[in-house]
Amino acid sequence: MTTAFVTGANRGLGRHFATELLARGAKVYAAARRADDIDLPGAHPIALDITDPSAVAAAAATAHDVDLLINNAGISTGAPLLGDLEGVRAEMDVNFWGTLSMVRAFAPVLAANGGGAVVNVASALSWFAAPGAGAYAVSKAANWNMSNALRLELAGQGTQVTSVHLGLADTDMAKAIDGPKTDPAVVAARTLEAVEAGDLEVVVDEWSAMVKASLAGDPRRFYDRLLGA
């Protein structure tokens, strides 16, 4: 039986990950800043701020039987890189440093339990930048290449690292943004299927696939299209 640890499990995509895992018979540690915010029957609530090293260490000590770590917790402040640096730092603290802290703490746990897998929820914005999402794009680009590096560093202990990329999911984080949105339940199901299949990357939707494919071309064509030039 899979034993999973899901960050940001109180709402949005994280809640759907936890729900899908429970439906598949997994034991689930569901983490959020406030454990009282977790209302998933059958889950094991854990209070966790992934930017707090002591809280991360305590979570890894408690969840010592985990073989699947889903790093879903993330923030989007809308901060531009040339604006107030507080928002930029906040995004990096959660989306990169906090996620890395989780992997560092849980890597020995995963090794002790046979290797297991790490899922890092990145974004289509790992591969491009958009107006109003400068800090977020940078943090998710770092998150993506962190997965690539961790995949190499954890290979020796048999830990699979899977990076997840999507455009908009129909969650609170994207409620103010217009555009097609993927059902978060679909994102969770596709991701877990990909992990079971041993896939290293999950490209959830057509938009993300288009963005990734554009990296092989002239960036001017992509950004002219983005800016309506």
Residues labelled catalytic: 136, 140
d(CA 192, CA 198) in angstroms, rounded, equals 10
d(CA 151, CA 55) in angstroms, rounded, equals 24
DSSP string for 37-64: G---TT-EEEE--TT-HHHHHHHHHH-T
SS3 165: strand
Residue 51: Cβ within 10 Å count: 16
d(CA 61, CA 14) in angstroms, rounded, equals 21
Closest to 105 measured CA to CA, from 142, 143, 163, 66: 66
The bridge status of strand 68-71 relative to strand 44-47 is unpaired
CA geometry: angle 83, 124, 138, nearest 5 deg: 30
